Amino acid sequence: MPASQKLKQKKLLAVASGGGHWVELLRLSRAWIDCEAVFVTVNQVYRADVPRYKFYSVSDATRHTRIQLVRLALRLLWIICKERPDVIISTGAAPGYVALRIGKLFGAKTVWLDSIANAEELSLSGAMAGRCADLWLTQWPHLAGEKGPYFRGAVL
């Protein structure tokens, strides 16, 4: 088949904070084995976890560190402009939420999977992401709602 007739491989931007968010994101990686995956997280050390993939690090931020949030948003804007992902997926927290919001402006499909650590209620980022995510998921059946988030199983 000529190269011009081959289907374009989807580009997926996988974004997470550190710790459990990053571990959960990595556990999902078999789901996008046929995609061109690009990883974004808050710690340069995590590059070793995804040696065959393109990798970016960003600063971590919270709603209490507004200047860091601005820096985070600008860095993610640059990454999204450069990579032009078809899909953005995140397990949380702030970097994932910001990436989903920016990605929507560029026409990316977005997926939010709230961390399994949020057993009693959705995370703040997860609750906010539900407003903009194309697919909004929780890992706890009792947190699922008719309009989302939806429960489709747990990662851990």
pLDDT digits (tens, 9 = 90+) for 113-127: 988 777 888 888 888
Q: Is residue 101 part of a domain?
A: yes
Tell me, yes or no, whether 59 lies in a domain. Answer: yes
Please state the domain count of the chain.
1
| Tokens coding 94 | 């702030």
Which CATH number do you get for residue 132?
A: 3.40.50.2000
Give domain status of residue 38, yes or no: yes
Whether 5 is covered by a domain: the verdict is no
pLDDT in tens, 87-106: 999 999 999 999 999 999 99
| Count of beta carbons in the 10 Å neighbourhood of residue 153 | 7
To the question of pTM greater than 0.85 for the whole model, the response is yes
Q: Are strands 87-92 and 109-113 parallel, antiparallel or unpaired?
A: parallel
For residue 54, give every residue at least 6 positions away whose Cβ sits within 8 Å of its Cβ, in sequence order, or none.
37, 38, 39, 83
**41: its two tokens:** 């997280």
